[in-house]
Amino acid sequence: MPRSHLRDRARDLRADHTHAEARLWNALRDRKLGGWKWRRQVPVGPYIADFLCREAKLIIEVDGATHDDEAYDARRTNYLERSGFRVMRVNNQGVYEGLSWICDAVLAACGGEAPHPASPRKRGEEQKA
């Protein structure tokens, strides 16, 4: 898929996320989880990662109805791991019933608190010198 199409697809996925993805995103966004910076629906090579923390080199995939092809998921995970990322898979039911446990596992996978947590800024707010 050409890069521009991948970016457009990622933008569409951000606008049309699942309830489970929205719930997890609410726990991760704005550096809420240990000061780590997360992005959602991010192109990585020919794939789109559900959630990505570049600093921790961790990708979280939320498996729901769209993740029913195990061979495809295995190829995708293999590619992401060869690209230097660790991949953590959670399912929708886990997000609904055990979000705090998932957050604890994500924080542990990141290595705890971010080494240099930056204070979150509002979009458009200038950084003070």
d(CA 117, CA 15): 28
Domains and CATH numbers, the chain: 3-110 (3.40.960.10)
* Edge-to-edge strand ranges of the sheet holding 39-44: 39-44, 47-53, 58-63, 86-91
52 strand-pairing partners: 39, 59
Quick one: DSSP state of residue 35? T
| Whole-prediction pTM | 0.80
d(CA 45, CA 102): 26
Q: Which residue has the tokens 């293999």?
A: 78
d(CA 32, CA 28): 6
Each residue's pLDDT tens digit, 20-69:
999 999 999 999 999 999 999 999 999 999 999 999 999 999 988 655 67
Each residue's pLDDT tens digit, 58-104:
999 998 865 567 888 899 999 999 999 999 999 999 999 999 999 99
